[in-house]
Amino acid sequence: MPDVVVTADELARRTVRRSDFVSCNQAFIDCRTPGSDRKENYAMIGPGVSQAAGQHVNLRLPHGYQIGAAAMPHGITNNLHLHYTAEVFVCTEGEYLLRWGADGTEGELTLRAGDIASVPTWIFRGFTNTGPDDGWLFTVLGMDDTGGIIWGPSVLREAREHGLHLTADQRLVDTVAGDPLPPESELVTPLGREHLDRLRRWTPDEMRRRVAAADELAFSEHPFLDSSLPGGGARLSCVIGYGMTEDPHQEPRVTNPHGHNLAWLRADPGQGVSLHRQHETQTLIVRDGLWEVALNRDDPLRVRLGPRDLLSVPSDAWRTVRNVGTERGDLFVVNSGDGRVRLEWDEEVRKSAADAGLGIDHNGYVAPYALLPRSARAW
């Protein structure tokens, strides 16, 4: 495979810093509903499910998934709606109360900083900031085209009282601002009882199994070929899908298809992941610490990332990831696809691993080098 060389301009385009985030407070039809009128919606990779023509999007390149964020003051609510594709909440700050069901009474769970929740498709969900004003939820949505969302019947009815309407093609119409009201046949109508009754119900226990609490994460100490090599040593927790782990004994918290996988990468100062590449798109989101990512095998370009910074890494580009801070750091890693991510390690990494008695077997997992057949040995 020929090397993909990332230019300085491309690296700059794919680096989305916290200071680059631009909020939209009119992204959804409930933006005037009392108690929901101070929401901030962000779209870093792809437009997500925003219904506002003016939504700022940092990076529109297709990734196979989309990444955004929701922020709101204490007590403000994001009203009940359902998604056609996966929605994953990554809570990095504060506390949120998640509720679900057609009327929001089927169950509720509290998400705290570090918790990751996968909300099933075709289920109404809403959430309220029950923590401080600076609460922050990253959202990872499945697919490049999400299909939009369906709002709860009461949300649509109340929005109309404030001059907001939604067309069948997910366009927000604001009659207060002077938008002409389309014919009724072009507007979304609230779901009828016959459709609401067909939706699956989820118990609190079922939903709880789809939440990876920060204090319950299971980390592999040897998830990669370079785990025992200088410059390696990162630990990995598979949250959604098997992703990029090379530990044959590691299992994810959530296994159903999302169109992407998500893992939590942790490293002490000086540790990280050695030079490798993968075919899937990848986005790195910093939870805490200071990280350096180097792209390209020859004459690498380097970028440093702090909390909430994002980096979109191109498919097939060589990269190294390193904690360059003074304390332990944490990264969220999002890769495209529902299958496993097969890493291609640089030749020097494979040689060093072989010297240490390790290699990759035909199933893509770390194994004793001495037991591998010749077809799996590089030397």
In this prediction, residue 378 carries a pLDDT of 66
Residue 111's domain is classified under what CATH number? 2.60.120.10
Question: Do residues 207 and 229 both lie within one domain?
Answer: no
In one-letter notation, the amino acid at residue 344 is E
For residue 3, tell me if it sits in a domain. Answer: no
Question: Do residues 207 and 73 both lie within one domain?
Answer: yes
**Residue 336 contacts residue 358 (beta carbons within 8 Å):** no
CB burial of residue 275 (10 Å; 0-12, 13-18, 19+): buried
Question: Do residues 126 and 224 both lie within one domain?
Answer: no
Question: Do residues 302 and 326 both lie within one domain?
Answer: yes
Question: Do residues 275 and 201 both lie within one domain?
Answer: no
**Residue 38 contacts residue 73 (beta carbons within 8 Å):** yes
For residue 14, tell me if it sits in a domain. Answer: no
Question: Do residues 205 and 277 both lie within one domain?
Answer: no
Task: Determine the Cα–Cα distance for residues 170 and 52; give it in Å rounded to an integer.
Answer: 9
**Residue 288 contacts residue 323 (beta carbons within 8 Å):** no
Domain count within the chain? 2
Residue of 105, 360, 373 whose CA lies nearest to 245 = 360
**Residue 90 contacts residue 116 (beta carbons within 8 Å):** yes
Question: Do residues 239 and 372 both lie within one domain?
Answer: yes
Question: Do residues 130 and 192 both lie within one domain?
Answer: yes
Question: Do residues 310 and 360 both lie within one domain?
Answer: yes
For residue 1, tell me if it sits in a domain. Answer: no
By residue range, what is the domain housing residue 154? 21-212
DSSP letter assigned to residue 13: H
pLDDT in single tens digits along all 379 residues of the chain: 778 999 999 999 999 999 999 999 887 888 888 888 888 999 999 999 998 888 999 999 999 999 999 999 999 999 999 999 999 999 999 999 999 999 999 999 999 999 999 999 999 999 999 999 989 999 999 999 999 999 999 999 999 999 999 998 888 899 999 999 999 989 999 999 999 999 999 999 999 999 999 999 999 999 999 999 999 999 999 999 999 999 999 999 999 999 999 999 999 999 999 999 999 999 999 999 999 999 999 999 999 999 999 999 999 999 999 999 999 999 999 999 999 999 999 999 999 999 999 999 999 999 999 999 988 776 6
Pairing state of beta strands 15-16 and 310-313? Answer: antiparallel
Task: Determine the Cα–Cα distance for residues 234 and 236; give it in Å rounded to an integer.
Answer: 7
Give the residue from 193, 212, 231 where a domain finishes.
212
In this prediction, residue 275 carries a pLDDT of 98
Question: Do residues 166 and 296 both lie within one domain?
Answer: no
* End-to-end CA, the chain: 20
Pairing state of beta strands 116-119 and 87-93? Answer: antiparallel
For residue 370, tell me if it sits in a domain. Answer: yes
SS3 assignment, position 123: coil
Question: Do residues 183 and 82 both lie within one domain?
Answer: yes
For residue 248, tell me if it sits in a domain. Answer: yes
In this prediction, residue 26 carries a pLDDT of 82
In this prediction, residue 100 carries a pLDDT of 98
For residue 104, tell me if it sits in a domain. Answer: yes
Give the residue from 182, 212, 242 where a domain finishes.
212
Task: Determine the Cα–Cα distance for residues 273 and 309; give it in Å rounded to an integer.
Answer: 18
Question: Do residues 185 and 284 both lie within one domain?
Answer: no
Q: Where are the beta strands (DSSP E) in 120-259?
A: 125-129, 136-142, 149-151, 164-166, 172-174, 211-212, 235-240
For residue 287, tell me if it sits in a domain. Answer: yes
Measured at the CA of 338, the angle between CA 333 and CA 341, to 5 degrees, comes to: 55
Give the residue from 177, 212, 247 where a domain finishes.
212
For residue 188, tell me if it sits in a domain. Answer: yes
